[in-house]
Each structure stands twice: as C-alpha cells, then as structure tokens.
A and B are shown apart, each in its own frame.
Chain A
C-alpha cells in the first residue's frame, strides 16, 4: 500500500515539476481573483448620483443637503429648480436618487410639525436603491437629532423615510458592517472549491485520455491506492490555496482572524475531502477532458448560488434549500466565516464539520465503487 502510494506521489510531483506553467496556473489566477473580489464584491454603495430640488431655499434645507454630500455616499449631479428637471434626471439615468425639499420645510421644522421631504429613487437596480434609501433614512435621522437639540418636538419625517423612532442597530462581529469581512472568507472557500474540483477531475480524466489509467488498472493496484495517490497532491495544493488566499485576505484586506487556527485547519481538511470527492465523482462521469470541463462548468454556478455566499439560504424556495444540504461550500462558508469573524468553537461548529465529513466520505466511496466500472 505504502510503496504504491509512494511511487504514485513521486510520479505526480515529477509531472507537476515538468509542467513549466503549473505554478503559474495554480497561483496567479487565484491571487487575481481574490483581489478582484476584495475590491469589487461589495454591497456598500458610494457616490450615488443625486439630484436635488430645493424649493425651500432656507438655512435648514441647505444644511440637510450638505449632510447628504458630507457622507460621500451621495454625489450631487444636478441642482434643479423645477420638478420636471428632476423627473428627467431620473428617467435618463443621470441621477439615481432625487431629493425634493418642499417649500415651508424650515418653517415646519421650527414649528415642530412634520416637515415634508420627498425622495425619488430609480428602482431599476433594486439592491442599490434599497441601500441608498437606507442611507437616506440614516442621514435624515442624524439631521433630525441635531435639529432637535434646538427644537424638542421637531420631526424631519417624510413620506418615505419615516424616522419617528430610530432603530438602534448594533451589528456584532463586524461592527462597521464591512462587506469585505463578509466576502473574503467566502471567496477563499469558493475559489478553493473550484480549483480543487477542477484539478482533481481533470487529472484523472487526463490519465483516462492518455491511456495511462488503463495501464495502471491492469496492475494489481487497488482503486483506493490509485485514488489516494491521485488526490493527496491536490489536498496539499488545496491547503496551499487556502493559506495563500487567507494571507492575502488578512494581510492585504485586513480581514480579522479571531478564531482558532486549529478549527480552521480541521474545517479546511474536511472541506478539501469533500472537494476531492466531488472532483473524483465528476471524473468517473467523464470520458474526455471536454466532458469534465462541461460538468465543472455546469456545477460551479449552482454550487456558488446555493451556498449562501451572496444569497441567503433562508430566502430560497424549499426545494433549493434542500439542495444546499449536499453542497460542501455551504458548510465551509459557515465554518470559515465563524472562524474568521466570530471565533466560536467546536461546540457550535460541529454540525457543518460533520456534514462535510459525511459528504466527503460519501462521494469518495461512490467514486471508488464507480472507478472500475468507469473503464467499461
């Protein structure tokens, strides 16, 4: 057992070493992707193109506008003087958001009456619209608080952003709600999965195509020995991937790592087990590299979408929620986010860890069983 494994491993590393571009292919795309994700994948909305129609022209209205501009979230693209102009701005996409301060705003504020403030939002991108509206209510709330110091009963509430009672949100673990903190761990998991599943399935299918698989299979080698020899290198590469991407996340993007590295190690091992199992399983269904490519391509998106990386699982239809149960990425995301940001222990994380073990062992077993048959 050990001897065959040894020559298998030696062969794998010799082939890897002879492949001049291997290191480049393994590392560079990974780093580039983390960096792109780190910068581009964010829910924070900045510089919302904003048009303003100030019909009040008072001290208070100007103060409110300057509150908006000061945050950096809003970028003033037009100071209009007629309603039609505002409508035009939104329709043409020149502005995403428009703020209309009606005449009498300051007066109402001073009299402690509800001061009307109208906010128009281009809802085409519902995500951006909602986020921008959230900022509006925050800013208005802040403005109101400041004004209230002078006028006790004042209200800057309007039709859309009603801020009569301000909600005290206090996010845990990610106090600034920095999206990057939420994203980077997910990126580590996703990229590693894609890389490892790809490498594993292609490596086996390539041997099948070259005919070397058949040559090995007429020897008395056991499928387990072959599979171990074939997957162990990718296990190590997977680990290197995780370490590398984690380093970029922590050192470059300053994502905190508050948890126990040992739990991270355990979680990564189990996740890689599942990823290798999945890769091998795909290889038993592919005769050619094209087929393996098609299968990989077909699987990566569902794995990503059904993982809770970006879209909350709780919001999915029941059937899709069930599907997420066999997605190793789903479990590793829980573990890796928890380890990075929460620092919770095994007492909390054992269910996803157990699920990954089950998935990994299950897929590897099916692969071993299907292995001989797949030569037919």
Chain B
C-alpha cells in the first residue's frame, strides 16, 4: 500500500442485532484513490458494514474512520465527506432527474455558483442529456443507477460507498457504470463497492471477501487467485471419470479434486506434482490427457476459502 494515510480504516468493526452478529471484528484499510470490491453471499454483512462506515449505524464494537473522522463519534463530519448509494434505489420517483439533482445539491449545500455546472456534469456523466425532465420512475435501470451516482457525487465527496450499484442492471450498462467508477477513482476518489457479480470484482484494485460477517480474504484479484487456493489448479480430461477421481484423491501432493463437467479440476501443491499425474493415472489403467494449468475464477477462490474456513474455524483467511 502507499505511504499516505489510509482513507477508510476499520479495526475490529462489529455490529450485533440483538444476539445476532451481522459483522464480526472486521479489519479494513483503503488507500486514497483505491477501488475496493466487497464480495460475499446474501446476508454476509456487506450492507451493514457500509452503513456503519456511512455513520448510519452505530458500531457495537471496534472502530472505524472515514476521511479521518471517527464514524461513531463524528458521524456528522463523516457524512459531509462521503457519497452513498444504497442497495435499494432511493431517489424520488415522482421528481424529474433535474429536480432530484437540485434537491440533493440543496441538501448538501453545493455553492450556488457551482450548482449549474455540477448538475450539468452529473447529467452528462450519467448520459441523461435529453432526459433531464423525465420523471425518475419512468427511467430504465441503468439510467437510474447512473443518476443515483450523479446525485451521490454532486458535493464532490472524497469517499464513495456504493452498495450493489449494478444489481439488476443489464451487462452493457454495468460496464458503463464501472467506467464511471474508474474515472472517479482516477480523480482521487476512494471507492468501496459491494457486488454479487464476480466478473465485476476483476475491475477492482483489491477485493474484500466476507462471509457470515467475517473477513475471508483481502487482496488484489491476482493475489487472491494465486494464493487464495493455496496451490495451483489444473484441468485434466480423463476417463473413466469416477475411477480417476477416486485415484487422484489418494495421489501424493494432491490437495483437492473436483468434477467440473466432463473434466477434473485438481489442486496441487506445486507445478512438479502436476507432471506426475498423467503417469499416475495411466498406471491405474485410466486414460488421461496432459494436465492443463488453468486460472481459477474468483468464485472458485471464494468457495474454496469459505469451505476451508468452515473446516478450520478461527482461521480468518489469508492476508497478503
């Protein structure tokens, strides 16, 4: 990470709802201008974490600071420095695009002389030219999300929290939205964005994976892919599949074997082990092609990490 002060910091951040712990001792540190993806299944605690970082929810334990302000003690100051898009679309449907922008500009006290320019910027950024006077509820999903982003950045916040901004939006519009995110990050805005789409995680500088309120892993997509599995992944085309599966589970140096369609995915300690696999199978009367090294998807990594964590409770996952 860079030498400058991190913009978003969480230490042991915890939120309990009654006896239920939604977010459990989460540590996080985001540098200026970084785009950090927040990944986890439904109910993992992504929204709860984001809402604590926004000063909407009080942490039950631990602390967090955003732009140098403590979220528990100075929520007002935090709010002045952030932009937030909630998971649920939340602009006024009965107001036009322009009226919504005007409303939020007023709420954030955008200086009057800058208002026209910033509103114009938001409209062009969202690609809403010609639709300024349409009622928001009549807009299609992608436009809505971009307008919401436009409203969230009217006051030029240095930090953005985007909670599943692209859910339910068609792929092309999603792509366009991510271009906007990167444009903002290039301008120095720090962004934490949660998503369900693993392909979107690839667009992030770093990814934070959480499950059941606990941090599972944090790192760049490349780091997670390389280290997340704790080995290297190979694909083998072989027959019969069942016999091969049983045999490889006993093979030395093999960590994990799974069926993927008509192939096997084999996780091995190191490259050298992979080279022994074909002879090993042939010896047992199984025909096999040479193993092919494959890059695991982030989904593979996530599933792998979660299952490993549930086998060894207390292990908070890897950290680069």
Contact = CB atoms under 8 A, between A and B. Distances in A.
Interface of A: 3-4, 6-8, 10-11, 14-15, 18-19, 210-212, 214-221, 375-376
B94 A7 contact: no
User: Which residue among B86, B95, B107, B108 has the maximum number of chain A CB atoms within 10 Å of its CB?
Assistant: B107
B79 to A, nearest CB: 5
B13 interface: no
B23 interface: no
Contacts of A375: 56-57
Contact of B94 (A6, A18, A214): A18
23 contacts: A4-B106, A6-B106, A7-B107, A8-B107, A10-B106, A11-B92, A11-B95, A14-B95, A15-B92, A18-B94, A18-B135, A210-B90, A210-B93, A211-B86, A211-B89, A214-B86, A214-B90, A218-B54, A219-B79, A219-B104, A219-B108, A221-B107, A375-B57
A4 B94 contact: no
Contacts of A14: 94-95, 99
The 7 A-B residue pairs with the shortest CB-CB distance in the complex, in nearest-first order = A7-B106, A211-B90, A211-B88, A215-B90, A218-B84, A18-B94, A220-B80
B55 interface: yes
Nearest to B151: A215
Interface string B57-98: 110000000000000000010011010101011111111000
B103 interface: yes
A376 B89 contact: no
Q: Is the interface of A mostly helix, strand, loop or mixed?
A: helix
Contacts of A215: 84, 86, 90-91
A46 B106 CA distance: 62
Contacts, number: 68
Given A211-B88, A211-B89, A218-B55, A7 B76 contact: no
A212 B55 contact: no
A270 to B, nearest CB: 30
A375 B55 CA distance: 11
A14 B92 CA distance: 10
B94 A19 contact: yes
Nearest to A7: B106
A10 to B, nearest CB: 7
Interface of B: 54-58, 76, 79-80, 82, 84, 86, 88-95, 99, 102-109, 135
B90 A220 contact: no
A8 to B, nearest CB: 8
Nearest to A375: B56
Q: Is the interface of B mostly helix, strand, loop or mixed?
A: loop
A218 B79 contact: yes
Contacts of B82: 218
Nearest to A217: B56
B102 A7 contact: yes
B109 A3 contact: yes
Contacts of A6: 106
B294 to A, nearest CB: 41
B56 A216 contact: no
Given A214-B56, A215-B86, 16 more contacts: A4-B109, A7-B102, A7-B103, A7-B107, A10-B102, A11-B92, A11-B95, A11-B99, A14-B95, A14-B99, A15-B95, A212-B90, A215-B90, A218-B79, A219-B107, A221-B107
Nearest to B83: A218
A4 B109 CA distance: 7
B106 A220 contact: no
Nearest to B106: A7
Nearest to B77: A220
Contacts of A4: 106-107, 109
Contacts of A214: 56, 86, 90
User: Which residue among A15, A219, A375 has the maximum number of chain B CB atoms within 10 Å of its CB?
Assistant: A219
Contacts of A210: 90, 92-93
A15 B93 CA distance: 9
Contacts of B92: 11, 15, 210, 212
Contacts of B86: 211, 214-215
A374 to B, nearest CB: 11
Nearest to B110: A3
Contacts of B94: 14-15, 18-19
Contacts of A7: 102-103, 105-107
Given A212-B91, A216-B107, A219-B79, A376 B55 contact: no
A210 B137 CA distance: 12
A219 B55 CA distance: 10
Contacts of A8: 107
Contacts of B84: 215, 218
B50 to A, nearest CB: 10
Contacts of B88: 211
A220 B108 contact: yes
A325 B55 CA distance: 39
A214 B91 CA distance: 10
A7 B115 CA distance: 13
A376 B60 CA distance: 12
